Each structure stands twice: as structure tokens, then as C-alpha cells.
Amino acid sequence: MSEMAITGADALRVEKAGPLATLQDAGRFGVRRMGVTQGGPADLHAFAWANYLLANAWGAAALEITLGGLVLVAERDLRLALCGADLGATIDDEPLAPWQVFTLHKGQRLAFGTPQAGVRAYLAVPGGFMGSPVLGSLACVTREGLGGHSGAGTPLAEGERLCVDVDALAGASAGQARAVPMKERLDYLAPAVLGLIPGAQIADFTGPSLFRAFHAEWQVDARADRMGVRLTGPRLECRLDGMISEGIALGAVQVPPDGQPIALLNDRQTVGGYPRLGTLTPLACSRLAQCKPGQAVRLAPVALGAAQSEYRRFLAALQA
């Protein structure tokens, strides 16, 4: 299923792999009819701002670093951008804050410790990291064995190297002065309010369940990954005894028989047969992807038109 490999120059060597670091571009689209999910960054918001800082094209491949523990050594001088979670990053033991561009010189070590705020950080390079596209995308989906730096859907492993386009490095302007606005540097420790577009089978839930869904505080369960995030709280009840499986969109909030919602993310299955409250907005999915187990979240109903306007404003800011 792999397409022609693209060659590039070594940029970063993996000294320590950490629990999960994967290469992600904007995602794999047009293939769900074959049962292949989209992949892509769990936090599109932080991913997109990291690429913006380097004036990269939309969707350029960046490194998604989950829970820290990763140590990288520069194989050449690099101009990089780091956005998203504070994973206690350091350059040769000197602290490095997220939401900025920085220079990593040949031989220097970029290390990520443990999560301080949020759980996923994004590391971008001019032009994007290189790899072997699979079905038109570099997005790494480990469950399906697709994409990533190797094309085989594997996370980074010790001793491996990430490649870059030398021409893109040479063309990057060191004088570019781009910054992430303060309002976009989200506080991942604050309770998250997640916009949800009501729909699907919402009318089949009982009135008291709908009241609880939007007025109760939910906690992120430890059973959370790139496929989906379970929320624990009051039991929700649906009148449906069963239903035929339907296509599942990013952010779909399913409610299985135990009455505890599951918000489905980038590596979700392509179809599902549980009733749904509706769908989280793309930016709500991004916010949820930064929540630690036990963190409080609330669901807030939002109209489709309002959600579309919010997303357009997000895209417009990145194209400024």
C-alpha cells in the first residue's frame, strides 16, 4: 500500500523513544469507504499553530509527542517550532517553553519530560518532516499499520531518524517574526468546555438524560487514546434497543449500554452502532485531546452554523 518513498536529509536522531511519538499530517481522507480511518493530529489546534510559526503549508507533517519521555539529538542545525502541551521540554537541560520558534544546533539534545499541562506537544520543521506516503498521507495510525515516518504505522523507536527537505531548510527565513496570539495559548489545566452539535439519535435519549448530559460535570477516564475518550459521570439512558451501524465522524459522541459517553477521535473505527448525542466540533476534539485522566469537562450544545463560523475564524487566523 506504500507509495514511492521520498528521500531527505537526516535531521533528528531518536536517543530515547518515549511512550508514543508519531508523525502526523492533516490526515488521510477519501478512504473511509474502504474502512480506513483518517489519522492526523489529535490536537489540530496546536498542530496548526506549530506549522503557522514556520510558514508551512497547511497540513505539513509534524511530530506528535504524547506524554513526553522523548529525547532527540540534532543531526544538523535546525529551526523548529513547538506548540501544545507543556511536557517539560529542555535543550541540553535548559527549559524550553511551548508556543515558540527556536534553534536546535547540531549535537544538541531536545528532551521531553513529563506532562505539566496537557498531554500532546507538536514539533514542526520548515517544509514539514518527510516520509513515505500511504494512501496519500503520512498520518500514522498504529492500529492499522499505516503511515508515519516509516510508512508502516509505527511510532518512533530508539536509533531511528527523522528526515527533512534540505531545500526547505535553506529557504526558511530566520528573520520571520511570527507568534501565537496569547488567546490561542490555551490553559490545558482549566476545566474544558466542549462544544457539541446535537444530532444523530439525540431525540431518543430521555429528558432527564439530556439535562444531565449538558449540566453535569464529566471526568476523562483512564481509557483514553487516539481512538476515543471515555467520559465518566451520570448514566445516560436511550430508548433505542438497537440500531444499524452508521458512518462515524470525527468527534461523534456515542453512548453504549453502560450510559457513559465515548467521544471518538482521529483513529476511530469508520462505523458504529451505538446511539449518539451528536458530534464535538473540531476544536472541541482538539481541547479534549489535551485532557489528562481525571480532568473535568463539560458538554455545551452549539448550533451547526455557530460551529462552522468558529472553525472558519480559526482557519482565517492561520492564513493571515
Per-residue pLDDT of 177-203, as tens digits, reads 799 999 999 999 999 999 999 988 999
Please identify which residue in the block is written with the cell numbers 496519500. Answer: 136
Rounded mean pLDDT, 39-62: 97
Q: How many CA atoms lie within 13 A of 118 on its CB side?
A: 29
Quick one: pLDDT at residue 320? 64
Whether pLDDT at 6 is above 50: no
Q: What are the extents of the domains in the chain?
A: 9-182, 192-318
Comparing CA positions, the residue from 208, 229, 210, 212 lying closest to residue 287 is 229
- pLDDT tens-digit profile of 68-117? 999 999 999 999 999 999 999 999 999 999 999 999 999 999 999 999 99
Q: Determine whether 123 is exposed, middle or buried from the number of CB atoms within 10 Å of its CB (0-12, 13-18, 19+).
A: buried
Quick one: pLDDT at residue 47? 98
Rg of the chain, C-alpha, whole Å: 20
User: What's the helix, strand, coil split of the chain in %, to 5?
Assistant: 20, 35, 50
H or E, element range at 179: none
The percent of residues above 70 in pLDDT, for the chain, comes to 96
Count CB atoms within 10 A of the CB of residue 138. 30
The grid coordinates of residue 54 equal: 514556520
What confidence category does residue 173 fall into, taking pLDDT thresholds of 50, 70 and 90? low
The percent of residues above 90 in pLDDT, for the chain, comes to 88
Quick one: pLDDT at residue 174? 56
pTM of the model: 0.95
- pLDDT tens-digit profile of 214-260? 999 999 999 999 999 999 999 999 999 778 999 999 999 999 999 99
Choose the weakest-confidence range: 23-37, 166-180, 181-195, 199-213. Answer: 166-180
CA–centroid distance for 259 within its chain: 26
Under CATH, which number does the domain 192-318 receive? Answer: 2.40.100.10
